[in-house]
A and B are shown apart, each in its own frame.
Chain A
């Protein structure tokens, strides 16, 4: 599969960096995928509503990435019950660009090529608190994004809750969970 990995965390030594490394390693080991990795922090994503067009010769744009892939893995920390603003902005601006056709009309499913996607994320608080908050981050992907993908697109939710009170052991178990869930892709 052609897999696009979109990761975001502003700090280099973060747990998200470790989960991103595990995601990339797991996908590479299976030998079945072509992988593209975009690190939104390294790419200088400022989460404006619309990103200025990339200068020519700077490689594939976010729009080209999304058109190219068959599967996406998002790796990010959950802040204020949802995706960080940088990832939200990346999604909103590229989707807006993909949705509007040149003749002024719109396409309902600009990501028909995407049949599978996963979210790998960590929450500071517990699952219970996140449910009380309405699980906004999960629903943005499982309802908002999925409605723009292939009608049969499936989502995998791979989440670590309560990272503020986690231990080395629980974090290791989470990394193994990533290997299990994404290893079968």
Chain B
């Protein structure tokens, strides 16, 4: 619990943060933010140190994240990178070319996976990537949830929204787009990562932990870019 940074406290699925009229605390607030993020990142790194490569459910995506500079701590990236023998199979372009239309619902996991893969491997059409980055950033900004399926007009097609893997995937993809300082993506990544930090102890699958760790590191990189541009110390 932090008086200065309460945005990761409580069950954010049940009581989401809306960030309206947030209080100003001065420079100390940014130190608190950095400390909290670094603490969660360290915890995830320690837990991942005991995970063997074959425990990951999505080795292609894990390898793609490991090969993207700075997305993972060196120790984790090296440990994973040494196991990535086969070339990446990047079939994401076709998946991301899809557009919601008609009445048919569509599943989120393959889209988020393809988006994350395309982002870190710089694959697929930039317009398609941007469409889905905006789509998922908006879904989370508006509802503070990511559902496993949607209908056209962004209506959820299921009632369950508790799959943390989806939040980790969305955040890793969006934080990647934010890491160079895109304000809109960075805003969404910060909020997604607040939720993931609040659920850090509930991240049990190695993939979830890895996606979240990458998302936190890429978000912090984006924050550092913006802070440096503004001449603000972190």
Please determine whether chains A and B interact with each other in the same assembly. Answer: no
